[in-house]
Structure formats: structure tokens, C-alpha cells
Amino acid sequence: MQAPPLFRDRSRPAQILLGGVVPLLFGGGVGVVLGVSAGAYWGLAALAGVGGVLAGFEHRDGWGGADRGLVGGAIFALGILIAHAIAGTHAKVSLGGFPPFLIVIDAIAGMFLGALGGRLGRMLRWRSGTVSEPSP
């Protein structure tokens, strides 16, 4: 398996698209589904988690992946809240007493998932010989 190109090596428009627009739009889709089906919401949230790990692969190490995951998770949650508010439906999953706190929760979860992806990506590049040594 070959590691994807590093996020920093992508063009600025590609960085904006992959790091901001994609999480916002996917979060928007999840926000609409939030008012339709609890199962679909959790399934899409799990898919977003997989996306967070895969996004981490585009960074040199777990620290870079954590940074991207923190921002991506916050943008994703913002998309959920905005789309759900626009849809005007009743949430099938509880957002708690203060729904904007979802942004903090998703940012932290995204940070850990991105860090995992960054670490796995570094190990993959190390095994393929494109990095001199794994980070501690």
C-alpha cells in the first residue's frame, strides 16, 4: 500500500477543499440525516471517523494528523448543527443540553482519529522506505 501525498504538498485550493469544504458538506449531510434516522446518523458518524483517520495519513506524523483532525472535527460538527437548524427537524439523537458543545466533542474526537491516522501513515512511509526512521 502506498501512502497518499502529504497535505502540505497539495495546492492551496486542494487543501481548502479537503480540509474545510469536505468536512463541512459531509457534516451538513449528517445534520440533515440527524432529523431522519438515528441509525443512519450513527452510521455516517462512523464513516466520518474513518475519514478522520484517513485524513491523518496525509500528514508527516501523529501531531500533524491531530491538528488536522481537531480543525476537521470542529468544521464537521459545525456543518451538522447548521444543516440541522436549516432542516428544522426534530433530532433523532440527543445533542445534549447545549448542542454547540458538539463542536468541542467532535474536535477532540477528530484530533485523536487524525493523530492515529498520522501515526499509521508515518509507519507506512517508514516501511516503504520514504522516511528514514519512525517517530517515537
For residue 110, being part of any structural domain is answered with yes
Upper half-sphere CA count for residue 114 (Cβ side, 13 Å): 24
Domain count for the chain, please give it: 1
**Model-level pTM greater than 0.85?**
yes
If we measure between CA atoms, which residue out of 119, 51, 118, 60 comes closest to residue 79? 51
CA distance 119 to 136: 10
For residue 68, being part of any structural domain is answered with yes
For residue 43, being part of any structural domain is answered with yes
Q: Which domain holds residue 46?
A: 9-128
For residue 39, being part of any structural domain is answered with yes
List pLDDT tens digits, range 15-62. Answer: 999 999 999 999 999 999 999 999 999 999 999 999 999 999 999 999
User: Are the beta carbons of 58 and 7 closer than 8 angstroms?
Assistant: yes
For residue 26, being part of any structural domain is answered with yes
With a CB cutoff of 8 Å and minimum separation 6, the contacts of 58 are: 4, 5, 6, 7, 10, 18, 65, 68, 121
For residue 60, being part of any structural domain is answered with yes
